[in-house]
Amino acid sequence: MPRSRSFRRSSQVALALASVLLLAACSGTSQGSPRATTTSDHNPGSGSFKAPTSGYVVYWDQDEEEDYYEPANGSQGQLVTPWDPNGQMCLLNDGTGRFVVGYDPTNANQDNPGGPPHHPFKQPPIGEELINPNGVWTGQDLYVPGPYKMAANDLGEDSPINSQGQFNGQSTYTGCAVDSEHNVFADDIGTAQGSFPIPTDGRLVEWFAPTYKTYCIVYGPDAGGVDGAHHVDGAGGLSQPGMMTTLPNGNLLLPQAGSPSGQFGGQVTEFYHSSMPTSESQCPDGVYPRKSLKTSVFVQGSLGFLPVPMGVAPDPSCGCYAVDSIFGDSSSRTVVTFFDADGKRVDRPPVTGETLAQFGHDASGFNPFGMAFAPDGTLYFIDIHIQCSKGFSNCGPQNFLGRVMRVTFGQGLKPSAPQVIATDFAFPTSVTICVFGTGAHCPFPTHKTPLPSPETPAEAGEG
């Protein structure tokens, strides 16, 4: 019997969704070739280094490093030299300028570039690294302790190595957020790294200020799994969580590419801050009781509306919130839509991009992932840049084709065509913005640094 149109389209969506599940886990193979960037270093030609005191700076990760861009003068550089950053960067906002970012060494013999001798892998294999404002690692990582180690004397965490010998095949911290008490939240995509239907074994983990040495699994699988229901390979947890943010009342907004019900169309889930744990003592055996947590659906995606939400970010110019999808619906092509603090759509033009039919086939197209807004409402987002060979075969983010893009809004808040700010990156995921001169201590290097660097094929996929 011939398949119906709806079945064919659903199959296309399934393939499209499956193609993006790898992007948060680092590439295992290289696609494309590295190309040199052409933008200038910070203060080009000057004899001394001067950190900015006004304006804002844009940060992004790209597999191994954390980079920055200053819109005031167009300069770029490395904040964290190549050594494992792979996820959303979140400022602690505690006056120190410190920040966290996800990291995930792939295997025990990994050789990280970044200076002689090459950096060793961080311990334990999976977690959030705590970094000083000058981009230098503090030596502390935030993690869930467990028995799984790279070597006998190493620190252990609670995600076992996978069948391919990779530590990040079972767990990868991607999105993060910090609350008003400076507690750190990070989401773990679990095993959502190449399979469809999207598994529901993702987790939301909290580490408590000021030491960040105590933790709580706030939300995760409640059935099955390795070493208990809360662990990988279970079910009933998050469905490939993405880049997070908070509301003014402290509630956490967390996008999920998949749906807990298994239907097409992800959602943005709201976690109520008043119901969150405030100390490790509220988490017996490291797991928060599900009955204590209050959640609701902030935005519901569907096949025809924000089908694959991966990021949410506040726009300070309007007090509203944007949600993005890696591709849009067939009619409006909407990939970024705006909502108020109650999750209701705001009457303003959306940003448009690829439809499902165009997805992965337009070399000049873009696929939004993490994003952030400047104080004037200028949007910066990551183009994870997915391409497919034929139909939806061999789909995936292209090494050295990931980009940072910018959208401005004119009369009637009409969005401009996205402008490329920086390019040639392998697996960038997220954008963060810090405003100087507002009391914030914005991270910045204390000396001139190299330009953002595309990775070599041998390095791609190591971190």
- 135-183 pLDDT, tens digit each: 999 999 999 999 999 888 889 999 988 888 888 888 999 999 999 999 9
Q: What are the tokens at 96?
A: 């120190």
pTM comes to 0.89
Chain segment 237-272, per-residue pLDDT in tens: 999 999 999 999 999 999 999 877 655 679 999 999
Q: What 3-state DSSP class applies to 373?
A: strand
Domain residue ranges in the chain: 5-435
The DSSP output letter for 292 is G
In what helix (H) or strand (E) does residue 14 lie, and over which residues does it extend?
A: helix 5-20
Residue whose token pair is 């991009």: 353
Q: What are the tokens at 136?
A: 């230098």
Residue whose token pair is 């993702």: 202
- Which of 24-38, 103-117, 142-156, 433-447 has the least mean pLDDT? 24-38
Q: Round to whole Å and give the CA distance between 341 and 348.
A: 15
The pLDDT > 90 percentage for the chain reads: 52
Omega before 117 cis (within 30°)? Answer: yes
In what helix (H) or strand (E) does residue 368 lie, and over which residues does it extend?
A: strand 368-373
Chain segment 41-66, per-residue pLDDT in tens: 343 433 356 778 889 999 999 878 99
Distance between terminal CA atoms of the chain?
Answer: 47
Pairing of strands 368-373, 351-352: unpaired
CATH superfamily placement of domain 5-435: TolB, C-terminal domain (2.120.10.30)
Chain segment 384-436, per-residue pLDDT in tens: 877 777 766 667 777 778 899 999 999 989 999 999 999 988 889 999 999 99
Nearest to 187 by CA among 168, 177, 170, 174: 174
Nearest to 69 by CA among 455, 440, 433: 433
Tell whether the model's pLDDT for residue 228 goes beyond 90.
Answer: no
Pairing of strands 379-383, 334-339: unpaired
Q: Round to whole Å and give the CA distance between 142 and 158.
A: 12
Q: What are the tokens at 39?
A: 């933008």
The answer to whether 329 touches 265, Cβ cutoff 8 Å, is: no
Q: What are the tokens at 344?
A: 């209701």
Q: What are the tokens at 46?
A: 């000057």
Q: Round to whole Å and give the CA distance between 47 and 102.
A: 35
pLDDT of residue 282: 97
Q: What 3-state DSSP class applies to 161?
A: coil
DSSP structure string for 122-148: PSSSSEEEEE-TTS-EEEEEE--EEEE
Omega before 145 cis (within 30°)? Answer: no
Longest dimension (CA), the chain: 74
Exposed/middle/buried for 356, CB within 10 Å: 0-12, 13-18, 19+? Answer: buried
